């Protein structure tokens, strides 16, 4: 890769961000930084951060900006991200977080923001079928005809429904997305780094679109 790609992936819950970010990260050899995964890992390990955020996650609320910013600042300062860049998934989620990120990345700015676009009506069904590995966070889709017990293909741990994938928490997170995160689209389109990618279709179809968008970035 000629230079490093520093990418933000925006998109509603259930738009397929997690799955697509894993694939893009593998394909382009850049780290995938998922703040939701970082927080869930902290909860699993029962660290002080994990203990302080568990209730917030289960309720589908947002963790405070200050904690999120320090988590992300630490992570993007690590060697792999400094050298290769990164794909940020789940951050920023508020205008305050985006403004702080602008500061933190002044020297090595974000070069692309992708809005993975799927309408609200369409993500509800995907979210109720979403399952995830308890240990590594790999995503799965329930069909009603699933193995029992269901073990993760990657690590063998149990595949379960996330604690925050209840109907009430899902609809609350979607409300928060519209209120707090959707305004970031204006924030980044003003900086001319925004690309909208249609999130409808099979995972392979969506991946092909995303790959083209990121290849376009590398040629710039």
Which one of 32, 93, 131, 209 is in contact with ligand ADP (CB under 6 A)? 93
Is the C-alpha dihedral spanning 82, 107, 114, 8 positive or negative? positive
Is residue 51 part of the annotated active site? The answer reads no
Q: How far is CA 94 from CA 36, 164, 174, in A?
A: 14, 19, 14
Based on the shown chain and the rule CB under 6 A, indicate whether residue 90 belongs to the binding site for ligand ADP: yes
Q: Minimum CB separation from ligand ADP for residue 91, in Å?
A: 4
Question: Using CB atoms within 10 A of its CB, is residue 123 exposed (0-12), middle (13-18) or buried (19+)?
Answer: buried
Q: Which of residues 124-153 bind Zn ion (CB under 5 A)?
A: 133, 135-136, 138, 152
Q: Minimum CB separation from Zn ion for residue 24, in Å?
A: 19
Based on the shown chain and the rule CB under 5 A, indicate whether residue 1 belongs to the binding site for Zn ion: no
Is residue 119 part of the annotated active site? The answer reads no
Is residue 93 part of the annotated active site? The answer reads yes
Q: How far is CA 160 from CA 34, 114, 132, 135, 163, in A?
A: 19, 29, 5, 10, 9
Is residue 82 part of the annotated active site? The answer reads no
Residues 6+ away with beta carbon under 8 Å from 44: 50, 134, 135
Q: Interface with ligand ADP by CB under 6 A: which range of 34-42, 75-83, 110-118, 193-201? A: 34-42
Residues 6+ away with beta carbon under 8 Å from 108: 4, 6, 82
**Between 1 and 179, CB nearer to ligand ADP:** 179
DSSP 94: S
Distance between CA 210 and CA 203 in Å, rounded?
A: 10
Give the one entry of Zn ion, ligand ADP, none that residue 16 binds, where binding means its C-beta sits below a cut-off of 5 to 8 angstroms depending on kind: none
Based on the shown chain and the rule CB under 6 A, indicate whether residue 100 belongs to the binding site for ligand ADP: no
**Between 22 and 218, CB nearer to ligand ADP:** 22
Which one of 8, 9, 10, 13 is in contact with ligand ADP (CB under 6 A)? 13
151-188 burial, b for 16+ CB within 10 Å, e for fewer?
ebeeeeeebeebebbbeebbeebbebbeebbeebeeeb
Give the one entry of ligand ADP, Zn ion, none that residue 111 binds, where binding means its C-beta sits below a cut-off of 5 to 8 angstroms depending on kind: none
Interface ranges with Zn ion (CB under 5 A): 133, 135-136, 138, 152, 154-155, 157
Interface ranges with ligand ADP (CB under 6 A): 13, 35-36, 39, 56-57, 60-63, 68, 90-91, 93, 97, 164, 173
């Amino acid at each position: 890769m000629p230079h490093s790609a520093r990418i933000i992936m925006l998109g509603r819950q259930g738009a397929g961000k997690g799955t697509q970010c894993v694939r893009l990260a593998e394909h382009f050899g850049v780290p995938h930084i998922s703040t939701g995964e970082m927080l869930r890992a902290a909860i699993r390990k029962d660290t002080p951060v994990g203990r302080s955020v568990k209730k917030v996650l289960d309720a589908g609320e947002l963790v405070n900006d200050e904690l999120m910013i320090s988590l992300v600042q630490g992570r993007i300062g690590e060697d792999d991200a400094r050298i290769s860049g990164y794909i940020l998934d789940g951050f920023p989620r508020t205008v305050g977080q985006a403004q702080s990120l602008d500061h933190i990345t002044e020297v090595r700015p974000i070069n692309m923001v992708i809005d993975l676009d799927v309408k609200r009506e369409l993500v509800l069904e995907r979210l109720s079928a979403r399952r995830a590995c308890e240990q590594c966070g790999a995503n799965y889709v329930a069909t009603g005809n699933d193995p029992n017990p269901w073990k993760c293909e990657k690590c063998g741990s149990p595949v379960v429904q996330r604690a925050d994938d209840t109907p009430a928490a899902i609809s609350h997170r979607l409300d928060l997305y519209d209120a707090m995160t959707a305004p970031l689209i204006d924030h980044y389109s003003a900086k001319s780094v925004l690309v909208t990618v249609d999130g409808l279709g099979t995972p392979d179809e969506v991946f092909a679109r995303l790959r083209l968008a990121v290849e376009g970035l590398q040629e710039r």
